[in-house]
Amino acid sequence: MDVKASLRHLHMAPRKVRLLADLVRGLGVAEAEVRLKFNGKAAARPVLKLLNSAVANAEHNFKLQKEDLFVKTITVDGGPVMKRMVPRAMGRGMTIRKRMSHINLILSDEKPVGKKSKGKGSKAEAKDQKSEVKVAAKAKAVRKPKAVAKSEAANNA
């Protein structure tokens, strides 16, 4: 079961909020709370508040346990931009863009699917095998001096 919560028109730049979103994505709710609570960034407080809101939605509306929940997805999108002017030299004006963020959070009680392991027939495994073959071919291609080659041939015979 997925539980959604969103925060709109947060007066912080999306670039700054995404740092914290990346920090908690895929974690359990308890671990995410701890990381946000002890993070020194200003965006940690509204993200923590949003996380707590999503947990409250899950407990009240769907009767889910807090211990079973994890952060399935968290996205930070840009909101409206307020444009302000600052006076500059020779009568010019420069714009200051005060950005806002929209945050969407989805909690889930299903276990997160980890990264796919390299199984038989995977592209990564095929690439590794090709590189091993190339290294082996290069090792065979290394020429030995004739004297060394003759002495090895005599020892093997």
| Mean pLDDT, rounded, for 88-109 | 96
Higher pLDDT, 95 or 113: 95
* Nearest Cα residue to 11 out of 90, 96, 102, 74: 102
* 157, pLDDT greater than 90: no
* 51, pLDDT greater than 80: yes
CA dihedral 37, 41, 43, 48 (to 10 degrees): -10
What residues does each domain of the chain span?
2-108, 123-156
Q: How many CA atoms lie within 13 A of 118 on its CB side?
A: 7
Residue 11: count of CB within 10 angstroms of its CB: 11
**pLDDT of res. 20:** 95
**pLDDT of res. 84:** 97
- Per residue in 125-151, pLDDT (tens digit) is 666 666 666 666 666 656 666 666 677
* 60, pLDDT greater than 70: yes
In Å, how far from its chain's centre is CA 45?
Answer: 20
CATH topology for the 2-108 domain: Ribosomal Protein L22; Chain A (3.90.470)
The DSSP string of 106-134 is EEESSPPP-PPP--TT-HHHHHHHHHHHH
| Mean pLDDT, rounded, for 48-67 | 95
The DSSP string of 36-64 is HHT--STTHHHHHHHHHHHHHHHHHHH--
Taking a C-beta distance cutoff of 8 angstroms, is the pair 26, 70 a contact? Answer: yes
In terms of DSSP bridges, do strands 2-10 and 70-87 run parallel, antiparallel, or are they unpaired?
Answer: unpaired
Taking a C-beta distance cutoff of 8 angstroms, is the pair 17, 105 a contact? Answer: no
